[in-house]
Chain A
Amino acid sequence: MMEITSKQLHEQTASMLDRAKGGQRMRIIRNGKPAAWLVPANEEIDPSWDEIMAEVRKARAKGGPTRPNPVLGERRKRHYAARVH
């Protein structure tokens, strides 16, 4: 993946499109921040979080009991140094 500025894209549009056609993925930077992607036409575009999380959000919407976060639980169990004093 390469990064190009919006100015570069404006000034070298044909060249950048050729690169994309050749398989290069480019992130467009405007005002120092990522603004858009230029990807080859035959590539799939990454799904959004909304698409990825549809099933999870549907499950969450049903409600029900919550569980303690296991990552924090694991750390508390292992963090015995504070308990041995």
Chain B
Amino acid sequence: MPLVYTDTSVLFAYLHPDDEFSGVVDAAVQKDSPDFVYWVFLRHELRHNLRQSRTNRHGEAAWRALRAAEKTSTRLRWQGELTADKLLDLAENLSAELAGDFDCGSSDYLHVSAARRVNLLSGLDAFWTCDVAQAKLARSIGLKTRLFV
């Protein structure tokens, strides 16, 4: 299975059937059957947004799918090495280097730094995002990036 770092925008779209990117992301997953990197910040951002969507149409189905995926050791591949303090330092370094060049928010630097770290440690097949500015940042540091539009 290819190992893919998905920005939270992609994982949310995959899990929530009403999301604007849901169809294109699902088609990509059905084609490539990847496993996804999962770590503490991505988990928080994803759970937070899914919790807030639980009351809308199909929100409960999305939440149940997430909980089922979290029980696996492969579909969402937990990265214990990606700790919050370490990644905040790496994101800070990346921001110091590139903040003037890319119009991204702080969490974008955090995700791209995490993907770069996984790529260095164990190899990453791709970085997927629905965020245009984040995709530019990821490409600039050499990550093989797929942008969903």
With contact pairs A49-B33, A69-B9 given, residues A74 and B17 touching in the complex (Cβ less than 8 Å): no
Is B105 within 8 A of A78, CB to CB?
A: yes
Tell me the minimal C-beta distance from B30 to chain A in angstroms.
8
Is B61 within 8 A of A55, CB to CB?
A: yes
Report the bound CA distance from A25 to B105 in whole Å: 39
6 contacts between A and B (CB under 8 A): A55-B61, A55-B65, A69-B12, A69-B130, A70-B53, A71-B12
Report the bound CA distance from A40 to B62 in whole Å: 30
Is B17 within 8 A of A60, CB to CB?
A: yes
Whether a CB of chain A sits under 8 angstroms from the CB of B55 is no
In the complex, which residues of chain A have a beta carbon less than 8 angstroms from the beta carbon of B119?
none
In the complex, which residues of chain B have a beta carbon less than 8 angstroms from the beta carbon of A70?
12, 49, 52-53
Partner of A69, one of B1, B13, B58, B107: B13
Whether a CB of chain A sits under 8 angstroms from the CB of B141 is no
Report the bound CA distance from A46 to B103 in whole Å: 39
Is A46 within 8 A of B18, CB to CB?
A: no
| Binary contact readout A43-85 vs B (1 if CB under 8 angstroms, 0 otherwise) | 0001111101101110110001111111110110011001000
Report the bound CA distance from A80 to B99 in whole Å: 14
Report the bound CA distance from A53 to B12 in whole Å: 13
Task: Indicate the size class of the contact surface on chain B.
Answer: 35 or more
With contact pairs A34-B1, A69-B19 given, residues A59 and B61 touching in the complex (Cβ less than 8 Å): yes
In the complex, which residues of chain B have a beta carbon less than 8 angstroms from the beta carbon of A74?
49
Is B45 within 8 A of A68, CB to CB?
A: no
Whether a CB of chain A sits under 8 angstroms from the CB of B68 is yes
Within 8 A of A (CB), among B116-137: 130-131
Report the bound CA distance from A68 to B9 in whole Å: 10
Is A69 within 8 A of B18, CB to CB?
A: no
In the complex, which residues of chain B have a beta carbon less than 8 angstroms from the beta carbon of A79?
105
Known: A47-B75, A55-B65, A71-B130. 14 other contacts (CB 8 A): A25-B73, A48-B33, A56-B15, A56-B65, A59-B18, A60-B22, A67-B16, A67-B19, A70-B12, A71-B9, A72-B9, A75-B105, A75-B107, A78-B105
